[in-house]
Structure 1
């Protein structure tokens, strides 16, 4: 009987031990290795923004009167000189108005001659006491009225003469036609943009700043500019202008960056990148593979001294080729998971290892 019991109990015990060992091995298997790194000081801690080279002064040119465009004398991208004609309006209406005012000037001059002679005659008659003082005063008033009328008509003639000249649009300064907005035969209103002129002289870089970081920038803030044609050279600059309102489509704020040096080999329309250092922020960097995002929020996985994971939200800068600057959220002594972050979860137990697959004792490093 005892022998039979032993024969039955022994396999059950072995089965129990094997099951316990399997469960222990499964529990151990759930503690997965995780490659960890320290955040490193970021040499490229500056935020970068793409931009385009523009002229410092880019006036929109327009006719001062309305009319039909009959000639367009320049094309987009063409270099022009100061006072060079750019386009012409149909001058027929302004010429007719000029002729009408010229005729009114002639009529006013003839009327003035008549009332002047009448006043002089009444003055002679009054001296001989042949007319009353009131009659002479009336002739004097007619003369003064005629003189004022002539001055008015001459002023109107000058206006009409100027408007006849306004039918030709001229370049105010030397520069390049950056944009053309009309065609021959088009009817334009006074003040409607016809050309945009990029004047010669200083060059600037136009960039767009995101809405969430706009408050960190100010006029006069130092920056550095890299031209795509000269990637190994940086030019010092400063923020000269910040737009007070966001663009309704992109929701970004326009900013103009001026070069500190006088002559910079930057051509109109050339691509550039502006680097801006955020003051008061110790920038660290982590590998791109360490960064995750959810609902527009960036985060990394921090390994605590007990080898469990904690999700840490971070504020990041512009992405580099292999790393990303972390502006807020991490300390240099923190350990973050550098790979496989898409399969991790909060509170998970891990076995931290370095890049050489050596186990890292976080508790000892913490001490």
Structure 2
């Protein structure tokens, strides 16, 4: 009888325990805050800061370079001598021209004296008209020879001065194309000068992108060493033909402002973007795809619960997804473990886990 009384009591205790459900555990949630993007990123390209105005200088006479006075990167002033040639040939030409000039000057003295003498004889009635005409003609011929000889001297002096290659404006030396001891011809490129007052960014854009740049294209130029140093820019010039090897087109950008860190030759990173409708970029792991439309899970900060929301996907990559609708700025979106969530489930927001 005692055994029969114990068994109903044990059964009653089991029924009472089964009626009490254990509380649902609160799971931690990784999340990201939705931030709107108003521009479409078209790519990032490496470039350099260059001067808008550059000039390549060469000697106006042939010869052998005997000296270069400055190195690359030196700031020079207008009129500074950059390099010079061996002036021996030009000095010989000048001496020859000066000798011819001295000879003609002596002839001119004789021609003037003869013309004056014939004029005096003719005035006294003892000289012939023919002799006076001949003397005056010789004087004019000698005067013309004098002018020709003087021009030859001036030209020889100019040729001698051309042995000095001078800067035609204030500039920075960016490149030497010839070395001391090298023989150069007339007009051969010797040195490149850049005017530092106006700078621009130079990049190479892929041919298809350069040919189909959308309206309102935006360029952001930033220093590669310090991206916080940046400025906006706009297109000044696109090369009409693509490079035969790389199939890219050289693009020159006018800087809206020129930070001091943008020195000639410094490397920059140029981000190309185009204005577009508001969209959001989320990690690919934040998207839950079932039989219906794709969705994300939004965290209600007041109740610490999650709820699903349908979204519209614009584009996918291997790590992220671009959305055009379904969420709004400031929404807290669960970024991991979305396939194990249920509507109304409580979550714990761990600040160290937020992205």
What TM-score bracket applies, with the shorter chain setting the length?
Answer: 0.5 to 0.7
What's 1:93 paired with? 89
Q: Are the equivalent residues in 1 in contact too, given 2:39–2:273 (CA < 8 A)?
A: no
State the Cα distance separating 1:271 from its structure 2 match.
0.8
Q: State whether structure 2 residue 168 is matched by structure 1 residue 186.
A: no
Query: Structure 1 residue aligned with 2:338, among 349, 356, 361?
Result: 356
Alpha-carbon distance change, 106 to 257 in structure 1, aligned in 2, over 3 angstroms: same
Q: 2:123 aligns with which of 116, 127, 137?
A: 127
Secondary structure of the equivalent of 2:126?
Answer: coil
Q: Tell me what 1:118 maps to.
A: 114
Seen in structure 2, the aligned counterparts of structure 1 residues 334 and 116 have a Cα distance that, compared at 3 Å, is: same
Closer, same or farther: CA 122–205 of 1 in aligned 2, 3 Å:
same
Contact conserved, 2:230 with 2:259, CA < 8 A, in 1?
Answer: no
Say which SS state the counterpart of residue 151 (structure 2) adopts.
Answer: helix
- Per-residue deviation at 1:283? 9.2
Within 5 Å, give how 1:253-272 maps onto structure 2. 253-261=249-257, 264-272=260-268
Aligned in 2, Cα 1:136/1:282: closer, same or farther, shift over 3 Å? farther
Distance 1:335 1:246, change over 3 A: closer
What is the distance in 1 between the residues matched to 2:47 and 2:249?
Answer: 13
Aligned match of 1:12: none
Tell me what 2:241 maps to.
Answer: 245
Alignment of 1:211-360 (within 5 A): 211-216=207-212, 223-261=219-257, 264-278=260-274, 333=312, 356-357=338-339
Q: Per-residue CA shift, 1:28-67, capped at 9, x if unaligned?
A: xxxxxxxxxxxx9664535433210112322112111110
SS of the aligned residue for 1:254 comes to strand
Is the contact made by 1:222 and 1:239 (CA closer than 8 Å) also made in structure 2? no
The superposition leaves residues 59-116 of structure 1 with CA deviations (integer Å, 9 ceiling, x where unpaired) of 1121111101112222223333333322221110010001111111111211111212
Match of 1:50 in 2: 46
Cα deviation digits, residues 142-182 of structure 1 (max 9, x gap): 21221122112211211111111111222233333211122
| Equivalent position SS for 1:45 | strand
Q: Name the CA distance, whole Å, in 1 between partners of 2:114 and 2:213.
A: 76
Alignment of 1:31-110 (within 5 A): 43-110=39-106
Q: Deviations over 1:111-145 (max 9, x none)?
A: 11121222222222232343443432332222122
Rounded to whole Å, the distance in 1 between the matches of 2:213 and 2:114 is 76
Range with bigger deviation, 55-64 or 184-193: 55-64
Q: 1:122–1:249: structure 2 CA closer, same or farther, 3 Å change rule?
A: farther
Higher Rg: 2
Given that residues 221 and 230 in structure 2 are in contact (C-alpha distance below 8 angstroms), is that contact kept between their aligned partners in structure 1?
yes
TM-score, with structure 1 as normaliser: 0.62
The range that moved more, 50-59 or 127-136, is 127-136
Q: CA 1:248–1:114 in 2, change beyond 3 Å: closer, same or farther?
A: farther
Tell me the distance in 2 between the aligned counterparts of 1:283 and 1:212.
26
Cα deviation for residue 287 of structure 1 reads 8.4
* Structure 2 SS opposite 1:59: strand
Query: Does the CA-based 8 Å contact 2:82-2:164 persist in structure 1?
Result: yes
Question: How many aligned positions are there?
Answer: 268
- Secondary structure of the residue that 2:338 maps to in structure 1? coil
What secondary structure, in the 3-state scheme, does the structure 2 residue paired with 1:141 have? helix
Among 165, 168, 182, which residue is 2:161 paired with? 165
Unaligned runs of 5+ in 2: 1-35, 294-310, 320-335, 342-355
Identify the match of residue 151 of structure 2 among 144, 155, 166. Answer: 155
> CA separation of 1:118/1:282 partners in 2, compared to 1, >3 Å: closer, same or farther?
farther
C-alpha spacing 1:248/1:99, structure 2 compared with 1 (3 Å): farther
Counterpart of 1:250 in 2: which secondary structure? coil
CA distance in 2, matches of 1:216, 1:136: 84
Which stretches in structure 1 are left out of the alignment for 5+ residues?
Answer: 1-39, 290-302, 308-331, 341-353, 360-367
Is the 1:221–1:239 contact (alpha carbons within 8 Å) kept by the matching residues of 2? no
